[in-house]
Chains A and B, each alone.
Chain A
Amino acid sequence: MGMDFIWWSTIALEVVILVRASNARLTGRYLFFYTYIVCVLVSDLIRLCCYQLTPNLYPTLYWQTELVTIIASYAVMLEIFRHSVRHNPGVARLARNLLAIVFCLTLTYASLNLLHDGFTPSLARATADIGRYFRYVEGALLLGMLALFARYRIPLGRNVLGLILGNALWIGVNVVNLAIWSLPGNGFSIALRKLRPATYLVALTIWCAALWSAQPDPVQPAENEIERDYEVLAARTRAILARTSNRLVRALKS
């Protein structure tokens, strides 16, 4: 009963998000995100039909559609990246380099683990493993992005902030959940099985609230009021810190 409620609620929320996108004219602005929502909605409907009509095929179909939605969820990351650092070319460049490194490292780690563990004869299990590693890579990329946004205090509008929060909640809980779930003996844990859809429902609610209407981006400083040359800014900060600590030392030495 509870699972049915979550299932129908997620489908309803996905429809609401798409309807609101159309009404608020947000589809073009966040095209990648809405493509992802359409993809998830279609996979939810296919699963629902399969569950009702051919329940014995459901486990295999579930993991196959899950793999597709995990790959599609990279579109949300692209959307977040595209909108967050639009006015911050330096941070965008830094983020691209950092994400490329993180991507290579995590993909190597995931591939080695996958090869080490070996593929199981079960197609459903093998698909689940690949999906899990895709999710780990995505988690590492998201962490790199969030760390940069937090460090450089990137100003975020309500729409993008909602996208980030929903995605971080979904991926963060998912990564932990999949890691525990993959441990021997936890494969049939009912609590873990229920946690994922419930988290997704919360993430959808956050996205729905944040993208209810188009919100303006944060005000950007005028071009003549900001310093674009990093060397100059860094030198100023260094000089001030050096002077401050010199004075502090001098005062304490006297």
Chain B
Amino acid sequence: MIGLVLILLLGALILTFAVRLLLQSLQAKIDSRPVTVDDFSKAREALDSALVAAAAVNRIFSSEDMEFISRSAPNDARRLFLKERKLLALQWLRLMQKQVAQLMDLHLRLAGHTYDPSPGFELRLTAKYLAFAVFSYIVLFLLWVRGPFKATRGTAYTIRAAESFCSVFSLRLERINPARLSSGRESLVH
């Protein structure tokens, strides 16, 4: 019986991947230009522009403004302020998700052209990316349900998990020779 289920799964997966390839090819037809390292750099720059205003982003989640409004403004103004901050926080997070997804897509397309892609690293990268996606969706949900000020307090555990995920990325950078990263093109590592 298990054998039969495996075979049925095999057949279903073949058909699913075939449909996925068809959709990918239709998508690629719209943008027939091949992907290059410059596209990757542009995606990085777009992501940077979402991150560059760190002070402004920090301000979205800062409780100081909320405390000030609570003390000195009427309820209507407080509600409006909360609504606007929530919207801003959601927009910022969605933009980040979209740009990171685009970056991963470019990474995979470029990795297809490299001489020696590492399946081990690809698997780890996929796991980390999925962790990032799950983490960001949890934060998005908390922002939507509780608003930007209460959400930050409620995400302490998630943040700790995310921090460990960041350190895994950073540690592995030590193995790479920085001179090669910037060879011929602008360095992408800051």
Contact = CB atoms under 8 A, between A and B. Distances in A.
A151 B109 CA distance: 8
A218 B32 contact: yes
Given A230-B114, A245-B162, A237 B103 contact: yes
Contact of B15 (A172, A179, A232): A172
Nearest to B4: A179
A151 B125 CA distance: 13
Given A150-B20, A233-B114, A239-B188, A227 B47 contact: no
Contacts of B159: 249, 252-253
B134 interface: no
B96 A244 contact: yes
Interface stretch (A14-22, A40-48, A55-63, A139-147): A139-147
B14 to A, nearest CB: 4
Given A136-B10, A143-B10, A172-B14, A235 B189 contact: yes
Contact of B18 (A155, A172, A232): A172
A143 B17 contact: yes
Interface in A164-180: 164-165, 168-169, 171-176, 179-180
Interface residues of B, number: 81
Interface string A221-254: 1100111111111111111111111111111111
B181 A235 contact: yes
Interface stretch (B35-43, B69-77, B78-86): B35-43
Contacts of A140: 10
Given A150-B20, A243-B190, 16 more contacts: A91-B112, A113-B3, A149-B17, A150-B17, A150-B24, A152-B117, A154-B112, A155-B34, A175-B14, A220-B34, A225-B37, A243-B51, A249-B166, A251-B60, A254-B61, A254-B152
Contact of A230 (B4, B58, B117, B163): B117
B118 A253 contact: no
B62 A254 contact: yes
A243 B100 CA distance: 11
Given A94-B119, A237-B125, A244-B96, A176 B7 contact: yes
A143 B21 CA distance: 12
A229 B18 contact: no
Interface string A174-203: 111001100100000000000000000000
Interface in A104-151: 113, 136, 139-140, 142-143, 146-147, 149-151
Interface of B: 3-4, 7-8, 10-15, 17-18, 20-22, 24-25, 28, 32-38, 40, 44, 47, 51, 54, 57-58, 60-62, 93, 96, 100, 103-105, 107-119, 121-122, 125, 128-129, 132, 135-136, 139, 151-152, 155, 159, 162-163, 165-166, 169-170, 172-173, 176, 180-181, 188-190
A142 B18 CA distance: 10
B32 A240 contact: no
Contact of A169 (B18, B105, B129): B18
Contacts of A113: 3
Interface stretch (A4-12, A30-38, A67-75, A82-90): A82-90
Contact of B58 (A173, A218, A251): A251
A242 to B, nearest CB: 3
